[in-house]
Structure 1
Amino acid sequence: MIIAHGTNALMPYSDFPDWGQVPVHALTKFSSSLFFIVFGVALAVAFVPKTGSPDWPRRRNRLLWRGLLVLFWYKVLTVVELWDRSRGEITDALLYRQFPSFVEILGFYAIALLWIPWLLPLWAKAPAWLRWLSPLPVVWLSWWLLEHAGFGGVPQLQAVFVEHPEYYTWGQLSRLPLVLAGLLAGGLLLRWNDTTGRRLLLSAGIACAGLVLLAWFALRVDDLQASLVAIGRNDGKHPPGLDFSLFSVGGALVLLALCIAGGNLLARVLRPVAIVGSDALMAFIVHIGVIFIVLRNTLGLYQAVPYERALWWSIGLIALAALWIRLWQAMKRALDRPRAARAAPAD
């Protein structure tokens, strides 16, 4: 995501070299689907098992507050992204009359965190067969609403629920099947993670599913190179088209399988990536802030650097985000130690 944002924020797709389009930028499209799947995995591992505990209302409220926090940063970063636009455009984006592009993923999470926590107890109590079938009716409902519902003549409302071709949004229902798939994978991971053989079996199953989707994509298209270039330029991303979905979800599942198989060892090898993942919201704030405040508005690098330099800037943003998160976490630990000492009972 950071590589995709960093390069595209400094130059339009039309200026990308061929190797930047394929494979570099096409492969970054795995990240969008992986976000939603990992969101579901995290909910399944950290929250679903607690839905029956006495402190579930507190945990649910923590998710709701997290949604409000994400909503706050979504609006702040909307202003950051559109800083060089007119006041009218910024106001329209803040009032949901228009939508930003680079930070719109936060808009999805903000809304999702305000309603999905209420769904989790039902998910935990649902029979296994219903959970495993749940993505299918949601896919059908999303398609039906996209094709047949008028949403009261408010296209922005359609964009929020099932996406709209004129708005760069992530629809709550159109992306919910990926979250449900993540909940299913997370439930298995929670049970099998402590057994190496079962964890590797789960990884192999997810990898096979991803490879099947990638093979389906390759067999569907007539010109693979042209199709990958189109995907790199977001063709079929909003609303989700079949070719884009097959490629993006298939690659996301393969990456998820590698992460599950690699476990803690892979996290140590790819330490900067693991640190970025430990505080995804902070990483998002840092990289968007640096891209738009520093690189574009202060240094004036928009359409002023070659693709290779934009790519190196983007890779550097990953290291910068990891460093900032590490320093932020260390500062919080240093502040928490005196509070813990004061709260501890005297001997």
Structure 2
Amino acid sequence: MNQKLISVLFGFITVMLINGPVFANEAEQTDAFPVTVDLIMDEVSDISISRGQFRAVAEMLLSWTGNNVGLVGAPESRTLMGDAIDSYLAENFDPAIFVANAEGPREVMARSLTLFPDGRAELFEKFAVKLTFETAIPSYPFGDLDLHLELQSANHPLPGLAFEPRHFKFGHEEIAHEVVKGNWYLEGNRSEVDSVKSLSHGGKSHFSVAVFHIKVAHDFVDVAQKILIPLLSILLLSMFINRFSVIYETEDGGDNANWRIGGQLTLLLTLFALNFSLGDDIPATHYLTMIDALFVAVGIMVVFALVWGIYVIHVFQTGRVELGTKLEHKSNAVFMALAFVFMVWVSGFALLN
């Protein structure tokens, strides 16, 4: 009898050990809270491709149902403000979130919690935050940037809290204003849900992440005025100096040597100054962008024209007039061919995006 009893107990314990995780998972599933996320972007500004950051002002609404029994059956909804929100969330389900790609804490401008008789709860928050992004735009100033805002669950791992993005809009229809500020314009938007591991809860749990993507492109007119026209002007002036400066026919060479060297040297220094002044308008990447390639191409052309001019002047001033004349005339074709090759190379970056 004792052996049978021991066998029954042993079998029961074995079954519980095997099926225990299943029961635990079923319990977790019953505690799961799908949280709907609505987001309105009020402002996207201070986009810096050199630092990889931008500023956003947004309105967020988190909605959930199932843990608001204290108000079920009440005649009307109730809205909580200030410390009353924290007190309620401390005793009930708290869908705490943080902005995963923020450089610091978000600045909360307004906050309210509305409780409905049917068990629904809606947490509204308007906030400002400085966000980071990847400056992956090899065809800059063409192409687009993927700005994004990542809302991650802070306290409840999956499946205890699962985000469900519902609405993602820009601005309010009643107010006419540009949401994306500066020399950028909106090209599109989308939202998605992902999951990520966190050191919280022992580092083994996955947390829900709602990602809101903002696709923006740079204004071409601004880029043309600041970058393209100055760079192409430097390139053309360098080629004009090399082509139309007086050919030396005597050993003394006169003052033309000073102009030949001084002109190219001035263009080279201007190129360095332009690159320095455009620091905030050029992406800081570990690879070449289209603008970087254009700076490299123009720089090589100017340096080559400077070195070539010094050598040709030296040839003329040492009395080798015939050789100097040949070099002078052939240099025009060489420079045109080199400029064409560089322009084809630079144009190829427009296809990389």
Q: Do they superpose with TM above 0.5?
A: no
Larger helix share, 1 or 2: 1
Q: Which has the larger radius of gyration?
A: 2
Larger strand share, 1 or 2: 2
TM-score by length of 2: 0.22
**Structure with more contact order per residue of length (Cα contacts < 8 Å, sep ≥ 6):** 1
TM-score by length of 1: 0.22
